[in-house]
Amino acid sequence: MDTKNYLVGIFNDEDVLLQAVSNIRGKGIKIEEVYSPFPVHGLDEALGYKRSRLPIAAFLFGMTGTCTALLMQFWMLGFDWPMIIGGKNHVSLPPFIPVTFEMTVLFAAFGMVGTFLIVSDMKPYRWPKPFDLRSTDDKHVMAIDLGANHLGKEEISSILKSTGAEEVNEKNL
Reduce the DSSP state of residue 8 to 3 states and report it.
strand
**DSSP-assigned states of every residue in 114-131:** HHHHHHTT--TT-----S
What proportion of the chain, given as a percentage, has pLDDT over 70?
A: 99
Q: Where are the chain's structural domains?
A: 5-51+129-172, 54-119
Q: How confident is the model at residue 3 (pLDDT cuts 50, 70, 90)?
A: confident
Query: Among the ranges 60-64, 113-117, 135-139, which has the highest mean pLDDT value?
Result: 60-64
Can you give the pTM of this predicted structure? Answer: 0.73
Query: Taking Cα atoms as reference points, which of 94, 96, 95 lies closest to residue 71?
Result: 96
Please give the pLDDT value at position 1. Answer: 53
Candidates 3.90.920, 3.30.160, 3.30.530, 3.30.70; CATH matching 5-51+129-172: 3.30.70
Residues 6+ apart with CB under 8 A from 120: none
Average pLDDT score over residue span 146-168: 93
Please give the pLDDT value at position 4. Answer: 87
Please give the pLDDT value at position 81. Answer: 85
Please give the pLDDT value at position 74. Answer: 92
Residue 120 has pLDDT above 90, yes or no: no
List phi, psi (to 5°) of 57.
-65, -40
In the DSSP assignment, the letter for residue 36 is -
What proportion of the chain, given as a percentage, has pLDDT over 90?
A: 68
Residue 89 has pLDDT above 80, yes or no: no
Q: How confident is the model at residue 173 (pLDDT cuts 50, 70, 90)?
A: confident
Q: How confident is the model at residue 20 (pLDDT cuts 50, 70, 90)?
A: very high
Please give the pLDDT value at position 98. Answer: 96
> Which residues face 143 on adjacent strands?
8, 33
Query: Taking Cα atoms as reference points, which of 121, 123, 109, 118 lies closest to residue 58?
Result: 109
